[in-house]
Amino acid sequence: MNAQATTQDRERTALGPIARAGVRPRGRLNVSFEFSPPKTPEAEESLWTAIRRLEPLAPTFVSVTYGAGGSTRERTHRTVRRIHEETGLKPAAHLTCVGASRDEVDAVIHDYWDAGVRHIVALRGDPPGQIGGAYVPRADGYNNATELTAAIRRIGDFEVSVGLYPQVHPESPSAEHDIDVLKAKIDAGATRAITQFFFDTDGFLRFVDQVRAAGIEIPILPGIMPVSNFKGLQRMAGPCGIVLPDWLSELFDGLDSDPDTRRLLAASVAAETCAKLEEAGFTDFHFYTLNRADLTYALCRVLGVREPEDKS
């Protein structure tokens, strides 16, 4: 079979969930969204346009990222506070160990508690400007996300989400090691795991089976990345050790100047992933929005997630 035929088959398969949407009954699924703190006034306007568009879908929570080396610390804090104060959303603040002492990190945790924020995403983090680079902890800092999780739970009764790599962490020797690390995070107080984005759905399901077989029962939220820019996706995936399948490259091949088709394919691939995960029993999905609402909103519609009815 030639590459063109393969791509056409993939496109037809990916469109399946959109064609089937609404045909079979389903319960309300849970969704959550990730945003990043804006760097410019224009980016802030774009972010808040996305937040307002997605807010009526009543997500379980929305998370706000923390730049490499803590580079967005103040912007993250400001964005989280604004979401908490100006919307009905429940913000989850990302927090990392990098570039700060234990006392400095503890102060941030206290600030979130005092602001009324009760959910933190505890991550080790990457060195400044080196996503996926080698991590060297500060002598006076927390060494890893497990220590950070314990500190968060010691300071307040926070909900703590942690990261999980379904294709093995770039610095990990094995999936078994990653599962042991997850167990340690749970012992420290983690209440939920959110995975990195992935495109090998079968591989993800096999990994989750391993996790459950190890006796881990906390919720695992699959991270869904509906990206229409394949070159940008490659830049994000490489440092994180995420393998992009050949069929995905074939889908986007030759579409550099065709953004409309790229968006359609991005929505189709993500919809197929979500449909397969739902069939496997998943009811919670975490969307990496890249501060844009269009694709995520469309996927929520495909999943049957609607604005709650007004009971008044």
* Active site (catalytic) residues: 34
The number of residues making up the chain comes to 312
Count Cα neighbours of 177 within 13 Å in the Cβ-side half-sphere: 8
Provide the b/e sequence for 292-307 (b: ≥16 CB within 10 Å).
bbebbbbbbbbbebee
Residue 50 structure tokens: 């996305």
Quick one: 244 exposed, middle or buried, by C-beta within 10 A (0-12, 13-18, 19+)? middle
Beta bridge partner(s), residue 15: none
Contact 244, 237 (CB under 8 A): yes
Structure-token match 């167990």, residue found: 183
Q: How far apart are CA 133 and CA 265, in angstroms?
A: 31
Q: How far apart are CA 149 and CA 95, in angstroms?
A: 10
* Alpha carbon distances (Å) from 55 to 82, 213, 245, 274, 285: 14, 36, 33, 20, 16
Residue 251 has phi, psi (to 5 degrees) of -60, -40
